[in-house]
Amino acid sequence: MHTTIYDEREFGLEQQRPSPQTPGQEETPDGMAKALGWFSVGLGLAEVAAPRQLSRFIGVQERPNLVRLLGIREIASGLGILLQDSPAPWLWSRVVGDAVDLALLGAALSSDHSDRKRVGVATAAVVGVTALDIISSRRHTGEAAPIQVRKAITINRSPEELYRFWRDFQNLPRFMKNLESVHTMGSHRSHWVATGPGGMRVEWDAEITQDRPNELIAWRSVEGSDVDNRGAVRFRKAPRGTEVHVEISYSPPGGRLGSIAAWLTGKEPGQQVQENLRRLKQVLETGEIPTTEGQPSGTSRTAILTSLFRTAERQRR
């Protein structure tokens, strides 16, 4: 079974493209954010490479596995800040990590196995870095633009069949996991109900803005909707089926903070769209969607953070 999924950077409808941005308009890391990113990578490498020496330096009991886990978190946050288009979620992940670090250091201060003077100095340093993380996170949160996702997949079906399936919007919840229902209200208008971050229920009305049979469907939310969004799907004939190109732009409920909350719980928008396209492929090529119940899955960000907080609580006891 042939599958191709990739980011589609050049896909987009010309009349929906934003005007070209001048340098400084994009949400790229500023000097402070870049410095925090490099600091995070450097600290993470030290924690992974020399956890025992670092523990002795800050005066805490040696727990190499825990320190290495903290190092992996630091490296991931740092690389996210430096390499991703939007640094805000990664900066906020550092704030969450700072809270974990302070909890661990607070537990160490009450331990008889710690050098309280060294731990106190380390705690003061983390408090200072936390302040910088919060300042940088809020700065980039305020500058955030609507989230844009572009993905594509090759499906072994004709453009005509794919167009017919997608054009009936009531089919979309069959493969869009967080979409509860879509009810049509005439030929060009529909009502959508979805599940947002934290299980929040959101609804909006949408209208079709372009409809070219077997080629293109474009839509956007109407004014006053819970979620301001627009999207387009294009069908292109390929040697082995059809390339389905999807572009979605939206402002998440709760603003950028809602997006960050979704990111922290492991629901990154690009991954969601990619998974939905895979589900679409399964529906159209096999007639069913394989489940992952009973199968091992990766550890979510929430699970990692919960594990770290539990470790801090055990140390406090």
- Number of folded domains that form the chain: 2
CATH number of the CATH domain containing 279? 3.30.530.20
Q: Are residues 264 and 218 in the same domain?
A: yes
**pLDDT score of 142:** 60
87 falls within a domain = yes
Domain boundary among 89, 118, 144: 144
Domain boundary among 144, 164, 189: 144
Q: Are residues 179 and 268 in the same domain?
A: yes
Q: Are residues 68 and 150 in the same domain?
A: no
Q: Are residues 55 and 169 in the same domain?
A: no
Strands (E), 159-240: 179-184, 189-195, 201-212, 216-221, 228-238
**pLDDT score of 293:** 43
Which residues face 184 on adjacent strands? 190
Q: Would the pTM of this model clear 0.95, i.e. be above it?
A: no
pLDDT digits (tens, 9 = 90+) for 139-183: 877 644 677 889 999 999 999 999 999 999 999 999 998 899 999
15 falls within a domain = no
Q: Are residues 225 and 243 in the same domain?
A: yes
**pLDDT score of 227:** 74
Domain boundary among 144, 163, 196: 144
**pLDDT score of 203:** 87
293 falls within a domain = no
Q: Are residues 246 and 130 in the same domain?
A: no
246 falls within a domain = yes
Q: Where do the H-state alpha helices sit in the chain? A: 31-49, 51-58, 64-83, 88-109, 116-143, 159-167, 255-264, 269-286, 301-316
Domain range for 129: 31-144
Q: Are residues 107 and 184 in the same domain?
A: no
Q: Are residues 240 and 222 in the same domain?
A: yes
Q: Which two tokens stand for residue 82?
A: 């430096």
7 falls within a domain = no
Q: Are residues 278 and 153 in the same domain?
A: yes
Q: Are residues 127 and 153 in the same domain?
A: no
**pLDDT score of 90:** 87
**pLDDT score of 200:** 72
**pLDDT score of 11:** 40
- 312-315 long-range Cβ contacts below 8 angstroms, 24+ apart: 312/100, 312/103, 312/104, 312/106, 312/107, 313/103, 313/107, 315/104, 315/107, 315/108, 315/111
Strand pairing of 241-251 and 216-221?
A: unpaired
2 falls within a domain = no
Q: Are residues 134 and 263 in the same domain?
A: no
26 falls within a domain = no
**pLDDT score of 113:** 84
Contact 13, 43 (CB under 8 A): no
70 falls within a domain = yes
Q: Are residues 70 and 174 in the same domain?
A: no
Low-confidence residues of the chain: pLDDT under 50: 1-26, 143-144, 292-300, 312, 315-316
